[in-house]
Amino acid sequence: MNRPWMLLWIALFLSGCATVEDRANSAGDRLGKAAAEARPDPALPGDCRRKERSGVREGEPLDVALIKTDQALGRANARVRRCTAWHDNYRADLKTGN
């Protein structure tokens, strides 16, 4: 008997039994992926990947070294806040569709 052919026909028949809802969901997934691929992610602001250095040199007085280090830390923290705000705004725009 040709049972492998019978199993093939059954599998083929059952694969065509997707409901209208299944097909609509599949089409929606494909459309969403196409839209996401069509919109490129914007580049991060230029300074978001920059690293900060204190500029302290060997032999400098400790109070000067502390001030320079504190200023460098302040610049780094300000950059983190700017880049985080940029990212949060970008994500919010994605949710609203802007």
CA angle, corner 16, sides to 13 and 17, nearest 5? 95
Q: Would you say the pTM of this structure is higher than 0.85?
A: no
What is the rounded average pLDDT of the residues 47-55? 92
Among the ranges given (2-11, 25-34, 55-64), the one the predictor scored with the smallest mean pLDDT: 2-11
What is the rounded average pLDDT of the residues 49-70? 95
Rounded to whole angstroms, the Cα distance separating 14 from 11 reads: 5
The DSSP symbol for 58 reads: T
Would you place residue 45 in the very low, low, confident or very high pLDDT band (cuts 50, 70, 90)? confident
pLDDT of residue 72: 96
In the structure encoding, which two tokens stand for residue 48, read together? Answer: 């978001």
pLDDT of residue 16: 61
